[in-house]
Amino acid sequence: MPTTTDPQPQPQPQPRPPGPKKPHPTRSPAHPGAFTRSLLLWGLSLRALWVSLWTTHAHLFFMSGLRAKLLPRAVKSVRKLADRQRQLAEEWSGRDFPAPYPELPSADQGAALRAQLASREGQVWRDWRWANLHPYVGGLIAFAPLALVLSGVWGLLTAVFGVRLSQEWDSIWYLFVPVQNWPTAALAGVLGALQFPLAFRWAAPRAVSLHERYLRAMLAPSEDELRAEMAEMAHRIDHLTTTRTAAVDTQMAEIRRIERDLHDGAQARLVAMGMTLDAAEHLLESNPEAVRALLAEARENSTKALQELRDLVRGIHPPVLADRGLADAVRSLALISPLRTEVRADLPARPEPPVESAAYFAVSELMTNAAKHSGAGRARIDISHEPARPDYEPDIDTGTDRGTGTDTATRTGPTPGTLRIKVTDDGRGGADATRGTGLRGIEQRLATFDGVLTVSSPLGGPTTVTLEVPCALSSPKTTSC
Amino acid sequence: MRVVLAEDHFLLRDGLARLLTAFGHEVAAAVDNGPELLAALMDLRPDVAIVDVRLPPGFSDEGLRAAVEARGRVPGLPVLLLSQYVEPLYAHELLATGSEGVGYVLKDRVSNGAQFIGTIERVARGGTAMDPEVISQLLVRKARDTAMAALTGREREVLECLAQGRSNAGIAEALFISEKAVAKHIGNIFPKLGLPPSDTDNRRVLAVLAYLNH
């Protein structure tokens, strides 16, 4: 096949500024290398056929639970092919070809991968759709110039051998010409020859550019999708900015509180102790009785200082939380709560320490609230972790009234799983997340972790507060739950 | 008494050993981590063990675990837990192994040597010693229970002292009331809690602890 139609070495694509979406005006429609390109594209479409067969098999196996390890490799091969196509399209058209991929889950995260594949949007899905269609549509487009050339060759062959062949085979046709004698054979030859320039000059560049448009339609995110993605990102940035500010404020307030507690508490007591001991030293000779009293006072101060330090540490990070994790720390809260509290925990492992701490203090505050304001006698705390599911929806209702819950976080797509804590009391109800500063504070602190607080508190009770924090369980289990 | 000591802080371990020796007790072993403690308890079967809750290698609750494990294998093995913090959950778990011969007190209490030795001896005899802070934390919870609500403020103070394992005389001294008044309060408390009155100190404490542990 003559591929030497380019009279000069192929010009490298000029680096162009990304910009106009319509075809570049300076690009000549009859690019000399267009035919070679169409051949390359056709070759790639044959590879796509192979990839598509393979991935379909892998997908079937994956969905039936067998050989799940095949799938990540299949996904990678699709992406590799799509990357090659996009790279060629970018090179030849000089225009950007966006491909916003989510992060590819590692091979052992079958569920996350399944989630990506199951979604009916996004780049991964577009890739798959494209890979299965491409061998036919892309192949047909890319094959057209080659088909013309082959037809031209057949025309020339007809011109040379047509007369003799027509005698042997009764009659042969070339296009619309019945070849019977030498003038018709010559006509076939001319028609055939004409198809070469048609293929190289006209069909090849058009096939290449049509192929590119088809690729963009299949593989690139649509304008709407891009806009939606941008809007979502903007929303997300807003949300992150707000929660970050709140987190920083909370942290500063905490630090100030700790500083004040130390300054007014343990530090002051130690100063007083020093003074008492000093006074005792001076009185040692003259008034042993007074020294005894002073020493007793010093010991009292040391006891109180220790007590205050203990309380302070408990407020920063309770030892039982560090030692035993969330479930046992909440059990400990239940033990000292004035409410008769039942704790049910089902955590196969521990959440990240910051999430654990936030959840603990949230529960602690909820229990305090319940004991103070609800008039309840009993409470129940359910702690569970729900692993990531592919069709994750941020709906968290479990059958009770939604109440006045306000979802502060927008969550789309799969999450690493959800830590869910439900605190229920049998009090008089009527709690309102929009009024109580306590609930608002908890909500703000959870928002740092994209957590959500839902309150269901009809008048007359019962009150159910549900905390949900997206998080993975990581640390190994250290105690039975 | 033969004592096994488990404390990772060198100064405190040394100090405790000195204190025990000074009061005429024998330190059979002084260890600084959880596995060694369990081995020592099993091999030496001491009269009492003094155990820091937080021990190497994990620095979480190795001491408690070793103590609970040892009491599971040797029921009634006297153990006194020491800790920088009192954790109601740990008290609960310790009491779940039986309320005879257990104690759980703050390390602060060590500073009063004679009183601390008294606590150790009480635990070694099969008594109970709970830090007032544990008791008060657990009592908060019980405050709402109907039975507890029936107690007067003074009766609750007496109950708290009872839970610490004090004798009538000790309670009288602590609350600055007469022994007769203490006996009267105790007589009132038991029916209110639905517990049969009993003569011996130990059974009274057991009853109170059983109630707290309920």
Residues A339-349 pLDDT 10s: 888 999 999 88
Closest approach of A320 to chain B, Cα-based (Å): 7
Chain A residue numbers with beta carbons less than 8 Å from the beta carbon of B92 are 335
For chain B, percent of residues with pLDDT exceeding 70: 83
Give the least confident one: A6-20, B8-22, B35-49: A6-20
The verdict on A306 touching B (C-beta cutoff 8 Å) is yes
The verdict on A303 touching B (C-beta cutoff 8 Å) is yes
Does A399 score more than 70 pLDDT? no
Q: Give the nearest partner residue to B143 out of A303, A320, A338, using CB atoms.
A: A338
Could you tell me the strand order of the sheet in which B2-6 lies?
B26-31, B2-6, B48-52, B79-83, B102-106, B128-130
Does A179 score more than 60 pLDDT? yes
Pair of tokens at residue A35: 């035919």
- As a whole number of angstroms, the distance between CA A287 and CA B158 comes to 37
Closest approach of A446 to chain B, Cα-based (Å): 26
- As a whole number of angstroms, the distance between CA A93 and CA A84 comes to 14
Contact: A340, B143; criterion CB under 8 Å = no
pLDDT for position A379: 92
Does A414 score more than 80 pLDDT? no
Contact: B89, A299; criterion CB under 8 Å = no
Q: Name residue, tokens 């070793």.
A: B66
Per DSSP, the three-state class of A428 is coil
pLDDT for position A119: 67
- The stretch A194-207 carries a mean pLDDT of 89
The verdict on A301 touching B (C-beta cutoff 8 Å) is no
Chain B residue numbers with beta carbons less than 8 Å from the beta carbon of A331 are 89
Give the nearest chain B residue to A311 (CA atoms): B85
- The stretch A387-412 carries a mean pLDDT of 42
pLDDT for position A392: 40
Using one digit for the tens of pLDDT, what is the confidence trace for A279-318? 999 998 899 899 999 998 898 888 888 888 888 888 888 8
Those of residues 33-52 in A touching chain B at CB distance below 8 A are none
Amino acid letter, A179 = V
Amino acid letter, A454 = T
Choose between B111 and B195: higher pLDDT. B111
Choose between A435 and B176: higher pLDDT. B176
Closest approach of B83 to chain A, Cα-based (Å): 11
- The pTM (predicted TM-score) of the whole model is 0.62
The verdict on A319 touching B (C-beta cutoff 8 Å) is yes
pLDDT for position B145: 59
Residue closest to B192 by CA, chosen among B170, B207, B171, B213: B207
Using one digit for the tens of pLDDT, what is the confidence trace for A10-20? 444 444 444 44
Interface test with B, best of A316, A335, A426 (most B CBs within 10 A): A335
- The stretch B171-182 carries a mean pLDDT of 88
- As a whole number of angstroms, the distance between CA A452 and CA A471 comes to 12
Which band of pLDDT confidence, cut at 50, 70 and 90, is reported for residue B7?
Answer: very high
Q: Give the nearest partner residue to A335 out of B92, B108, B144, using CB atoms.
A: B92
- The stretch A164-172 carries a mean pLDDT of 77
Does A406 score more than 50 pLDDT? no
Using one digit for the tens of pLDDT, what is the confidence trace for B28-42? 999 999 999 999 999
